[in-house]
Amino acid sequence: MKVLLIGVGGVGEMIAVLAKDRPWLETLVLADYNETRVQEVYNKLGAPAKFVAARLDASDQQQIVALAKKHDADLIMNAVAPIFAENIFDAAYQRGCMYIDTAMTISHLHPTDPYRQCGVKLGDYQFARSADWEKKGLIALCGMGVEPGMADVFAKYAEKHLFDEIDEIGVRDGANIEVKGYDFAPSFSIWTTIEECLNPPIIWEKEKGWFTTEPFSEPEIFDFPEGIGPCCCVNVEHEEVILIPHWIKCRRVTFKYGLGEKFINVLKTIKMLGLDNKEQIDVKGVKVSPRDVVAACLPDPAHLGDKMDGKTCAGTLVKGVKDGKAREVYIYQVADNTVCMKNYGVHAVVAQTAFNPVIAMELLETGAWRGKGVLGPEVMEPEPFMEKMASYGFPYQIREKRI
C-alpha cells in the first residue's frame, strides 16, 4: 500500500512509527505545511527508504491531488485539524484514492436554537457524498481514530457477541495524566479541543433522533480502570453519537469526557472572552484568528511526552439485555504514558489515537475489511481489528458490572 499521510503532528508521527516496518506498506509520504516538522519526524525514524518527506498545504486541494498522483497513492490518511477535512476528503475522491480520517467534517450550529437542535452535524458533508464514492468503487473510512474509531468497533463487537438488546451505548474517556511544569497544557490539539468541547454536545435517542444540549451537561462520576479511578465525565460533541446509530440498534448514544473542573473552567473562560472564535479579526492592522492565537500561546502537544505522567483510558460502556438478564459491560483500552514514550517516543494520548488507523490500513490492504462509500468503523467486522490490537501493543480489556 502507498499512503499519503497528511499531517505529521503527534498523531501523524505515531502513525509513521507504527507503519514503518509493516510488510504491507510500500510507501509512506510524510506531508505537512511545516517543513521543519516533516524533516524532524523523517530523521527521527532513521530516514527509511520507503518514506518520502514533502511540504503540503492542506488548504490547497490541487496540491493534495498532485502529490497523491506523484506518488501513486492508494490511500490518503488525514491526520490534521478537522477544519481541513472537507478539502482532503474531496481531494481523495478527485484522485480516486481510499480515504481515512480520525475526525470527521466539522459541525455548524443551528441558527436559532443551538442548544436543543442540531444544525449541520459532524460528518454531514461526507455522508451527503457517500453515493458518489460508492459509484466510484471507493471507500472513505471516516472516524477511525480511538474515539471515534476503536470505540465504534467495540460497540459493534458488543452488539454482535454480548447483547440481545442494547439500551445505551456510552463512550467514556478519562485519564489521570499530568503535564509537569504547565498550569494548562492540553495533550491534544487545542484547536480541536475547543471545537468539540465548546460546541453543543449531541445526544441520540431512538424516539427523538439527534438533539443538542448545553456544553458540559449531564455530569456523572465514572470509575475508570487500572488505577485511573473516578472522574467526572460530561457530554461533549463527538462523532460516535453520529456514527453508531447509523449501523447499530440501540435506544440511546452518548459521549462523555472526563475533563476535570479546572479544564472546564479554562474552556469556559476562553469562550467568555471570545477566544474560541475561528474567524479572523483585525489586531493593529494584522488579520488573526483568536483561536489560532490561543493555540500559538500553548505548548505543542507533540513535544510534551517527556513532561507527562499517567494513563489514559478510552472505552465503550454498553447497557442492555443478554439471555433475558440485564447486563452492563465496559470494553476499553488503557495507554500508559511511560510505556508509550519508551516504546514509541510519543505520548499516550496521540499513541492511543494513531494505532487504530494503522490497523485499519492493514485490514484494508489484506482485504479483511472492504466496502464502498462513506462508512464508519461499525460497518466492519470487529474481530480482525480487535485480534490485532495486542500485537500492535494496545490490547483491549472487558469489565463487566454485576447487576
Q: Where are the domains of the chain?
A: 2-101, 150-347+395-401
Cell 496521540 -> residue = 350
The count of other CB atoms within 10 Å of the CB of residue 61 is 18
CATH number corresponding to 2-101: 3.40.50.720
Q: Return d(Cα 254, Cα 214) in angstroms, integer.
A: 14
Sign of the Cα torsion 339, 344, 347, 348 reads negative
Give the number of residues written for the chain: 403
According to the model, what pLDDT value does residue 188 have?
Answer: 64
Residues of the chain where predicted confidence (pLDDT) is lower than 70: 185-189, 301-302, 305
Angle 337-344/10-19 helices, nearest 10 degrees? Answer: 60
According to the model, what pLDDT value does residue 187 have?
Answer: 64
CATH number corresponding to 150-347+395-401: 3.30.360.10
**Whole-Å CA distances, 242 to 7, 13, 50, 233, 333:** 25, 28, 36, 19, 22
According to the model, what pLDDT value does residue 284 have?
Answer: 85
According to the model, what pLDDT value does residue 302 have?
Answer: 64
To the question of pTM greater than 0.75 for the whole model, the response is: yes
List pLDDT tens digits, range 359-381. Answer: 999 999 999 999 999 999 999 99
HSE at residue 262, side-chain half, CA atoms within 13 A, is: 6
